[in-house]
């Protein structure tokens, strides 16, 4: 009789398209474990909303596994440092002879996995680390075998590799035994979140994917930048915790593009998945990104402003710039923000308020239900002109122009800044002083033109 295999779930909380789970089950019987590390999550600024989605997902996973006769155990320790001993003891108690898991890219997680592998191998327990949970898990390198530092050439090579691979998604693990009961007691760290927007049931997640690809993937390129339109997939919270697998996304894109006479290789949504791979791979090539360092070393000398009133106004959605405030209030109320708005508010904080991008990065992680270190870090450094393939330092978003362009009728602003509802579509983007007084809406915290020039000067001075 083959020994039972242990599968360790981390940010891959799914049965569908899970390499470690499928391959371990092919070896024989499996036992699945998840290890909560609440204090480590706090150190990593993980949001309460994300923890809520994670806990709800684990309940669904426990039930799914129970129906297949597969035992599931939820363990807990404060920090990553406690995991090697915890896993070693658990394997010995349960007489488990091998551990399976999917690799991750952030530095702390890679160090954790090295410590776990070392401890288990020392105790005679085999470790099977599977590929990174990416569409293209192998390094995507230039002809000089160096990592790409610009996205467009990376994307061309990434797409070429992807077409050569044509890797199918992994099937759910087979039935193991008759149905059992997996005890799941709601943990202390399981916080409330907007489950009306993001149900944790895996079937509901896959249905949401199918509906997006069927109804919206064709109009996605034209509508994706307009926050008032329901044009995006809103699947990012599930991707952040691995509730849905990248190969399943690819399979859905390919199928629905074929159904709608489109070339899947040209799909704009697929390009977004390439950005996900790009930012995650960068963490391996450039460990300093995991150490609160800018990608461009010279930008570590930018003199950021200390502006607590400005930062507070930004955090609370009271800057006096309607599109910025609507975006920040969307984040506070839902735990999520439209991607175009993320760029607008990040540019506002780093370029117009000239506040250190790391403060915005941390605030986002503390509030986003889809907070994921690589993408969040990459996005903030792009906006702050400190990162790989970043926006030129002299590119500063004008929030009023952005508002007029991407929320022309003010529908999104009205949704989240209700005091401005009475204003016309022309007035709402930049209300007059009189209208601000009448609606009890704050005056702008900065004057755009001199603030823009100050940011350009701050970066230009680095050259001298």
Do 83 and 77 form a contact (C-beta atoms < 8 A)? yes
Contacts of 125 (CB under 8 A, 6+ apart): 88, 91, 96, 97, 98, 99
The Cα-based distances of 188 to 116, 158, 369 in angstroms read 25, 41, 18
Active-site choice (97, 304, 318, 419): 304
User: Is-catalytic flag, 100?
Assistant: no
- Beta-carbon-side half-sphere exposure of residue 278 (alpha carbons within 13 Å): 26
DSSP-based three-state secondary structure for 198? coil
How many Å apart are CA 24 and CA 27, to the nearest integer? 5
User: Is-catalytic flag, 275?
Assistant: yes
Give me the phi and psi of 295, to 5 degrees please.
-65, -40
How many Å apart are CA 244 and CA 148, to the nearest integer? 27
- Rounded to the nearest 10°, the torsion over CA 400, 404, 405, 410 is 120
Sort 213 into a burial class: Cβ within 10 Å, 0-12 / 13-18 / 19+: buried
How many Å apart are CA 107 and CA 43, to the nearest integer? 14
Handedness of CA 406, 373, 159, 257 (dihedral sign): negative
User: Is-catalytic flag, 272?
Assistant: yes
Residue 401 CB: number of other CB atoms within 10 A?
13
User: Is-catalytic flag, 380?
Assistant: yes
User: Is-catalytic flag, 189?
Assistant: no
Residues paired with 73 in a beta bridge: 33
Active-site choice (191, 201, 318, 339): 339
Which of 53, 125, 30, 43 minimizes the C-alpha distance to 78?
A: 43
How many Å apart are CA 281 and CA 106, to the nearest integer? 9
Active-site choice (275, 314, 336, 382): 275
Active-site choice (189, 264, 314, 357): 357
Active-site choice (158, 380, 382, 430): 380
How many Å apart are CA 213 and CA 223, to the nearest integer? 14
How many Å apart are CA 454 and CA 460, to the nearest integer? 10
Contacts of 127 (CB under 8 A, 6+ apart): 98, 99, 101, 116, 117, 120, 121
Residue 214 CB: number of other CB atoms within 10 A?
14
Q: Which residues are catalytic?
A: 272, 275, 304, 339, 357, 380
């Amino acid at each position: 009789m083959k020994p039972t295999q242990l599968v360790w779930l981390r940010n891959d909380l799914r049965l569908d398209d899970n390499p470690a789970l499928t391959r371990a089950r092919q070896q024989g019987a499996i036992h699945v474990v998840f290890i909560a590390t609440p204090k480590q999550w706090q150190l990593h600024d993980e949001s309460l909303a994300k923890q809520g989605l994670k806990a709800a997902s684990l309940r669904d996973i426990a039930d799914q596994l129970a129906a297949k006769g597969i035992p599931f155990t939820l363990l807990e320790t404060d920090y990553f440092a406690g995991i090697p001993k915890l896993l070693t003891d658990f394997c010995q108690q349960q007489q488990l002879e091998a551990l399976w898991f999917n690799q991750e890219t952030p530095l702390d997680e890679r160090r954790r996995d090295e410590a776990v592998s070392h401890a288990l191998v020392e105790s005679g327990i085999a470790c099977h680390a599977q590929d990174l949970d990416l569409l293209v898990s192998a390094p995507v390198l230039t002809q000089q075998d160096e990592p790409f530092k610009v996205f467009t050439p990376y994307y061309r090579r990434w797409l070429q590799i992807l077409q050569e691979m044509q890797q199918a998604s992994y099937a759910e693990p087979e039935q193991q035994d008759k149905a059992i009961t997996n005890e799941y007691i709601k943990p202390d760290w399981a916080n409330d979140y907007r489950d009306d927007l993001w149900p944790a049931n895996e079937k509901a997640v896959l249905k949401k994917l199918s509906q997006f690809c069927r109804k919206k993937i064709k109009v996605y390129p034209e509508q994706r930048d307009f926050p008032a339109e329901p044009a995006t997939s809103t699947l990012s919270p599930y991707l952040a915790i691995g509730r849905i697998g990248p190969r399943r996304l690819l399979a859905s894109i390919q199928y629905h593009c074929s159904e709608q006479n489109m070339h899947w290789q040209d799909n704009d949504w697929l390009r977004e998945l390439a950005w996900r791979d790009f930012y995650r791979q960068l963490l391996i090539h450039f460990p300093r990104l995991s150490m609160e360092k800018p990608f461009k070393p010279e930008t570590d000398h930018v003199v950021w402003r200390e502006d607590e009133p400005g930062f507070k106004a930004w955090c609370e959605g009271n800057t006096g710039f309607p599109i910025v405030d609507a975006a920040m209030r969307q984040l506070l109320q839902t735990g999520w923000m439209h991607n175009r708005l993320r760029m607008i508010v990040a540019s506002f904080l780093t370029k117009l308020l000239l506040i250190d991008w790391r403060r915005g990065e941390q605030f986002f992680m503390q509030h986003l239900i889809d907070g994921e270190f690589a993408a969040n870090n990459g996005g903030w450094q792009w906006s702050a002109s400190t990162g790989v393939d970043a926006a030129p330092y002299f590119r500063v978003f004008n929030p009023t122009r952005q508002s007029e362009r991407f929320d022309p009728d003010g529908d999104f602003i009205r949704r989240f800044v209700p005091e401005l509802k009475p204003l016309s579509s022309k007035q709402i983007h930049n209300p007059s002083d009189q209208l601000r007084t009448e609606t009890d809406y704050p005056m702008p915290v900065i004057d755009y033109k001199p603030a823009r020039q100050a940011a350009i000067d701050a970066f230009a001075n680095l050259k001298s």
